[in-house]
Amino acid sequence: QKEVEQNSGPLSVPEGAIASLNCTYSDRGSQSFFWYRQYSGKSPELIMSIYSNGDKEDGRFTAQLNKASQYVSLLIRDSQPSDSATYLCAPRGGGSYIPTFGRGTSLIVHP
Amino acid sequence: DGGITQSPKYLFRKEGQNVTLSCEQNLNHDAMYWYRQDPGQGLRLIYYSQIVNDFQKGDIAEGYSVSREKKESFPLTVTSAQKNPTAFYLCASMGMLAAGHNEQFFGPGTRLTVL
């Protein structure tokens, strides 16, 4: 059974701080890793993808991947109230068409 | 504009009725998916299709049916056999950016309520 673990939160951070969202996964064959943002009542929106160990930066977002530890994280710098949402981690095994979704971490950025 | 459309946005069903949720994409993606999301829960896979005229059951296929007659379309029927159909239904498709780099994108969703 492939599992993806995320702390459900809520994670509460002040505006301007760094928010750190973490995800562990059980499938060692996972090759692709995705972070989605989901606002309440809306569908998930892909915000980051990472395929190799290390860091990948895109604007205020940085994804970090450590395949040996089966750990992927998302850092949000200079957090804004508009970042308040649920963040879903979704690894996908090599050759698979099906990502496995975690339950998501709720992030609240307060002014 | 390329994207995934779902209709209707809201749907109300009486118990015992079948309903069909529409999903269309103009991204030329081969793979399409249906997920169900309940409040406070993650996404659960209902059905997926990797090519036209072929589809596979996901983790919670009972009470649902799909068809894939065209690449662009992947409708989901919620049958009366589905005991608890009230949920948020999400359609997704996956395209290849580069070898091994496939990304999945979601439609806006249909919120189904059984009265």
Q: Report whether B92 contacts B56 (CB < 8 A).
A: no
* Pairwise CB contact (< 8 Å): B103 & A43: no
pLDDT in tens, chain B (115 residues): 569 999 999 999 998 899 999 999 999 999 999 999 998 888 999 999 999 999 999 999 999 999 999 999 999 999 988 889 999 999 999 976 556 678 899 999 999 999 8
Give the number of other CB atoms < 10 A from CB of residue B39. Answer: 7
Write the CA distances from A51 to A28, A71, A76, A84, A97, integer angstroms. 13, 13, 19, 26, 15
3-state secondary structure of A10: coil
Contact with chain A for residue B5, Cβ under 8 A: no
Query: How is residue A60 annotated by DSSP?
Result: T
Q: Quick check: A1 pLDDT over 70? A: no
Residues in chain A within 8 Å Cβ distance of B106: 36, 43-45
Query: Strand order of the sheet with strand A19-25?
Result: A4-5, A19-25, A71-76, A61-66, A54-58
Residues of A with a Cβ under 8 Å from any B Cβ are 31-32, 34, 36, 42-46, 49, 51, 88, 90, 92, 94, 97-99, 101-104
| Average pLDDT value for residue range A17-37 | 93
Q: Quick check: A97 pLDDT over 80? A: no
**Dihedrals phi, psi of A91, to nearest 5 degrees:** -75, 155
